[in-house]
């Protein structure tokens, strides 16, 4: 994979979701958008691109693990420095073996008329038969941030006051401190 493509991926700073690809991955494979995003932040994260495949925008294929160690295959594009996941599914046994052996792919990826057709193809076909994973590279995307959702949280005033004191003592915004505490507790519960 060329360095200019790696540079392009390193500039990505978020995710761009539409209801079609978010819903289809869930309905067909029980994969959430959060799980898709997790693989971009966990290691190993292996990416390959298919040169001259799409007439309109570059396509990337990747393998990675969720926080719960579920292996996923997904393909995506980039638009305006955002990752746009087109399709996601669980890694097949053959793909897991392929990563270990990294053999050359055998079949040519068909030309697709639109993203829906491409999404359907990758939902049903094993990437190990189409993608030369020997050309794949591990990529770190330092600017990439997970999707967030604004929530309203009611806290007793004394608790909020104490959180602000701790945040001030540690020189961090209190909202960031709350996120750090929540993240630590969730990670502890899953380990």
94 band by pLDDT with thresholds 50, 70 and 90? confident
Rounded CA gap, 130 and 111, in Å? 13
How many Cα neighbours within 13 Å face the side chain of 65? 9
Each residue's pLDDT tens digit, 37-59: 999 998 778 888 876 555 678 88
Better-predicted residue by pLDDT, 140 or 159: 159
CA–CA dist 140, 150 (Å, integer): 27
pLDDT average, residue stretch 7-12: 86
Stretch 123-132: mean pLDDT: 80
pLDDT given at position 53: 56
How many C-beta atoms lie closer than 10 Å to residue 40's C-beta?
Answer: 23
pTM score over 0.95:
no
Q: Is the pLDDT of residue 103 over 70?
A: no
Q: CA-to-CA distance for 7 and 47, rounded, in angstroms? A: 13
Query: CA-CA distance, 84 to 86, in Å (whole number)?
Result: 6
Q: With CA atoms as reference, report the closest residue to 40 among 116, 145, 166.
A: 145
């Amino acid at each position: 994979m060329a360095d200019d493509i790696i540079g392009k991926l390193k500039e990505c700073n978020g995710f761009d979701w539409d209801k079609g690809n978010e819903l289809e991955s869930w309905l067909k494979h029980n994969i959430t958008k959060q799980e898709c995003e997790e693989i971009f932040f966990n290691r190993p994260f292996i990416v390959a691109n298919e040169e001259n495949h799409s007439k309109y925008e570059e396509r990337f294929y990747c393998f990675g693990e969720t926080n719960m160690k579920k292996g996923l295959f997904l393909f995506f594009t980039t638009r305006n420095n955002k990752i746009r996941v087109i399709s996601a599914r669980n890694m097949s046994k053959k793909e897991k073996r392929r990563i270990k052996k990294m053999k050359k792919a055998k079949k040519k990826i068909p030309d697709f008329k639109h993203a829906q057709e491409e999404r359907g193809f990758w939902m049903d076909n094993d990437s190990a038969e189409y993608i030369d994973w020997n050309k794949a590279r591990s990529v770190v995307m330092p600017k990439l941030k997970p999707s967030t959702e604004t929530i309203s949280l009611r806290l007793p005033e004394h608790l909020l006051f104490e959180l602000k004191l701790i945040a001030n003592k540690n020189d961090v915004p209190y909202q960031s401190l709350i996120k750090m505490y929540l993240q630590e507790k969730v990670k502890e519960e899953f380990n």
